[in-house]
Chains A and B, each alone.
Chain A
Amino acid sequence: MTSLERTAAALRQRGFAVSVFETAEAAADYLDASIDGRTVGFGGSQTLEAMDLWERLRTHNRVFSHLHGFPLGPEAAGAQVYVTSVNGLAETGEVINIDGIGNRVASTLYGHEKVYLVAGRNKIAPTYDEALLRARNVAAPKNARRKQMKTPCVQGDRCYDCKSPERICRALTVLWAPMLGMETEVVLIDRDLGY
C-alpha cells in the first residue's frame, strides 16, 4: 500500500468519509459538483487558494472566506458547509491542526452540517508524532512568515515554542474521529499543496 492508501484506510476505520484524487483539478471538480446551493465557510488555507476553490464555488454557493474580503465571523462559523485543510495528517489517521485566532479549528469541531478537510500528500507523515512535528516545525513557521509575524520561527527553521505575543500557534487540535453530529470528509490529493 502507498502512504496515501494507508492514510485513507486508517481514516475510514476511524469513521471519516474519505475520497482520493490524483490531481488538485480532479479534487476541485469533485468539490465543485458536491457543494451546490449552500452557505459555505472557508478556513484560511493556501491549499484552497491553490485549487481556486473560492472562484469555483462562489458561482453557485454563498461562500464566506476572509482571504477574499469577508470578515472573520458568524457567517463562516454558521455556514452549512465548512472547507479547510490540515497542518498534519498521520498515516494512522489522526488529523492535526494548529491555529492562532481559532476560527478555522473551531469549525472543524462544531457548528456545520458537513466539513471537508482537503489535504495534499505533503501533509502526511507515518506516525502521529511525526505529523505533529511536521505541523509545528514545517507548516507553522511558513504560516508565521506569510503573516509577517515577529516570531523566532520566521527567521529559523523550526518551532522555538516561543512565548512571543505574536505567536500564532496557540491551540493544537487533533481529530481522532469525526465529531458527533457533523459529517466529516477528508479529501486526499496525490500532489503537494499548501503548507
Chain B
Amino acid sequence: MFDTVKKNLEARGFSVRTFATAAEAAAHLNGAIDGKTVGFGGSVTLKDMGLYELLGSHNEVHWHWVNGPEERQAAMGTQVYLSSANGLAETGEIINIDGSGNRVASTLYGHEKVYLVIGRNKLAPTYDEALWRARNIASPKNAQRLGKKTPCAVKGDRCYDCRSPERICRGLVVLWAPMLGMETEVILVDEDLGM
C-alpha cells in the first residue's frame, strides 16, 4: 500500500514508519514520546487513536480540543507536536488546510520534532489529486463538523471557493520536504482515519 509514497517521502528527507493498524501506530508513538511537552493539532485522527489519553499519562500534553482555546498558544511552544494531514500525494507532498492556523504553523516551525499521523484514506496518486482531496473531501467534512454556514457544509459535496466569513480554508500549507531544524516523522497507517 505505502511502498511508493514511503520511498518518495524518504527521498525528500522525511522519516517514515508504516503500521497495519492505528493501535500499532499509537503503541509506537506511546513508546517514542516520553517525558516531553507535547502539543496536539486539531485532528479527528489523533482523537480516534486516543493519543491524548495515552501520552498524557507520561508527558505534559496540551490540546485545545480537550482544555479550551488558550491551549492553542501553549501547544505552540512544546518540544513535540502531533498532527495529521488533509492530503498526501504518492509523490510525497504533504498537504494541510487551516482556518485559525495554529495546526499548520506548528508543522512549519517551533518544535524539536513533529509527527504527522496519516491514514490510507488521505492518500492520492498525484499532488493535484491530493490537493483536490484536501479541498473537496476533508475541508467540507471539517466545516460540517464545526457547524459552519458555508456552501460546502450545507451541501456537503465539494469546495465552492467561497468568500464566506465563516470560511475555514484560509491557509494552504504544502510540505515539499522537512523544515530545516525540525525533525519530521510521517506515520502511515493502513486504515481509514479522520476526515
Chains A and B come from one and the same complex: yes
**Contact yes or no, A182 B101, CB < 8 A:** yes
A14: which B residues are within 8 A, CB to CB?
Answer: 163
**Contact yes or no, B176 A172, CB < 8 A:** yes
Q: Which of B13, B108, B163 contacts A106 (CB 8 A)?
A: B108
A142 to chain B, nearest CB (A): 18
B104: which A residues are within 8 A, CB to CB?
Answer: 109-110, 173
- Count A-B pairs with CB separation below 8 Å: 113
**Contact yes or no, B11 A15, CB < 8 A:** no
A148-166 at interface with B (beta carbon < 8 Å)? 163, 165
**Contact yes or no, A110 B170, CB < 8 A:** no
B68 to chain A, nearest CB (A): 15
Q: Which of B110, B167, B173, B180 contacts A100 (CB 8 A)?
A: B180
Bound Cα distance from A178 to B170, whole angstroms: 6
Let me know if B126 is at the binding interface, CB within 8 A.
no
Contacts A74-B77, A177-B167; A170 near B102 (Cβ below 8 A): no
B169-192 at interface with A (beta carbon < 8 Å)? 169-182
Which of under 10, 10 to 19, 20 to 34, or 35 or more describes the interface residues of B? 35 or more
Let me know if B71 is at the binding interface, CB within 8 A.
no
**Contact yes or no, B173 A101, CB < 8 A:** no
A134 to chain B, nearest CB (A): 16
B135-181 at interface with A (beta carbon < 8 Å)? 161, 163, 165, 167-181
**Contact yes or no, A101 B98, CB < 8 A:** no
Let me know if A179 is at the binding interface, CB within 8 A.
yes
Bound Cα distance from A28 to B174, whole angstroms: 32
**Contact yes or no, B109 A106, CB < 8 A:** yes
A50-81 at interface with B (beta carbon < 8 Å)? 74, 77
A69-125 at interface with B (beta carbon < 8 Å)? 74, 77, 99-103, 105-111
B20: which A residues are within 8 A, CB to CB?
Answer: none
Knowing that A110-B102, A110-B105 are A-B contacts, what are 14 other residue pairs whose CB atoms are under 8 Å apart, sorted by A's residue number?
Answer: A102-B182, A105-B109, A106-B109, A109-B104, A110-B104, A163-B13, A163-B177, A170-B180, A172-B172, A176-B169, A177-B169, A177-B170, A179-B101, A180-B101
Closest 6 interchain pairs by CB?
Answer: A110-B101, A102-B109, A102-B108, A109-B101, A110-B105, A106-B109
Residues of B within 8 A of A (CB): 11-13, 73, 76-77, 98-102, 104-106, 108-110, 161, 163, 165, 167-182
Residues of A within 8 A of B (CB): 13-15, 74, 77, 99-103, 105-111, 163, 165, 167-182
